Structure 1
Amino acid sequence: MSYAVRSLAEGNRELIAFRIGEQEFCVNIMSVREIRGWTPATPLPHSPGYVLGVINLRGAVLPIIDLSKRLGMTPVEPSVRHVIIVAQVHSKIIGLLVEAVSDILTVTEENIQSTPEISSDLERQYARGILAIDKRMICLIELGALFTDAESEAA
């Protein structure tokens, strides 16, 4: 039996963790297509403020989202140290600008604690839980809830 099949059978989930500022977040690794270095984006007029622009990814136009700005955090000034996580959200492929990928985590549902009640309604919509691992607090993000179908179409 392959590792992926065995992990699913045991109830494990694989997540990819990344940093934005001093905070760590993670997403389901199954939505991630690739991780690549920062490439300057061509701005698009009239796009949402969190859309940095588009890049050419092997002949396909890929919208780049400043995930820090989308999450309501301080926007970043992209540099060569930043990376783009290419992910599938709904039926679209988008690039998420983050500071660095930090880990690949294998967790069970028991490792995921619920989002605190003091969180805002918006935060509870996309934050599916908190992982407390090795003195780190990592927020599990549901990309499908963070970007509606209409937003991923606009991007």
Structure 2
Amino acid sequence: MTVVTQSAEVAATGAREYLTFRLDQEEYGIDILKVQEIRGYEPPTRIAHAPEFIKGVVNLRGTIVPIVDMRLKFNCSKADYNSFTVVIILNLRNRVVGIVVDSVSDVMELSPDNMRSAPDIESAIDSSCILGLGSVGERMLILLDIEKLMSSVDMGLVAVED
């Protein structure tokens, strides 16, 4: 009963839940509804001639899943893979894709009052893939449109449907 009430409150306020993760010193948020699961990092099988940020593929219960290193995609320093490194498995337009991040923080609920539009600045991330900035207390999150980011032409992972 409490879950139904919370869902009704979320719908009424326009709040959304975001899975938060870290890359270097930055904290990002992606729509929790796009997340299928979170797994520990295991080295993928490399694919010849793939872009550097596509680390390879893994076999996830019979599904071949491309693995994207977000540090390399966002031009961060090289990643050190350790016990905190995780792969977030995403389900995007019925395509499964994994992203490697430094660590997963938590799930945060953000209402429209806690969200601001992102400043229009040059960055490694296409500005159309940034939904905005979310703030809770002292924390500032860069909210990503992960589906749009993963379907960009340079990724070649998810076919864009018209």
**Letter of the aligned partner of 1:86 in structure 2?**
I
Matched, 1:136 2:139: yes
For residue 111 of structure 1, what is the amino acid of its counterpart?
N
Question: Number of matched residues?
Answer: 154
Alpha-carbon displacement from aligned partner over 1:42-86 (angstroms, at most 9, x marks no partner): 111011111011111112111111011112222313233201100
Q: 1:104/1:86 Cα in 2 relative to 1: closer, same or farther (>3 Å)?
A: same
* TM-score (normalizing by structure 2): 0.85
Which string of whole-angstrom CA distances, capped at 9 and with x for unpartnered residues, describes residues 78-133 of structure 1?
23320110012333111110111112111111211111123449541111111122
Of the structure 1 ranges 34-43 and 71-80, higher mean CA displacement relative to structure 2 is found in 71-80
Contiguous gaps of at least 5 residues in structure 2:
none
Corresponding position of 2:70: 67
Taking the aligned partners of 1:149 and 1:127, their CA distance within structure 2 comes to: 13
- RMSD of Structure 2 on Structure 1 (CA): 2.0
Distance 1:54 1:7 in 2: 36
Which segments of 5 or more consecutive residues in structure 1 lack a partner in the other structure?
none
> Residue 60 of structure 2 corresponds to which residue in structure 1?
57
TM-score normalised by length of structure 1: 0.89
CA distance in 2, matches of 1:9, 1:24: 27
Query: Are the structure 2 counterparts of residues 129 and 149 from structure 1 closer, same or farther at C-alpha, using a change threshold of 3 Å?
Result: closer
- The alignment status of 1:152 with 2:157, answered yes or no, reads yes
Amino-acid identity (%): 29
User: Quick one: distance in 1 between partners of 2:150 and 2:67?
Assistant: 13
Distance 2:13 2:123 in 1: 33
Return closer, same or farther for 1:68/1:84 CA change in 2, 3 Å cut-off.
same
Confirm or deny: 8 A CA contact 2:74 2:124 kept in the other structure.
no
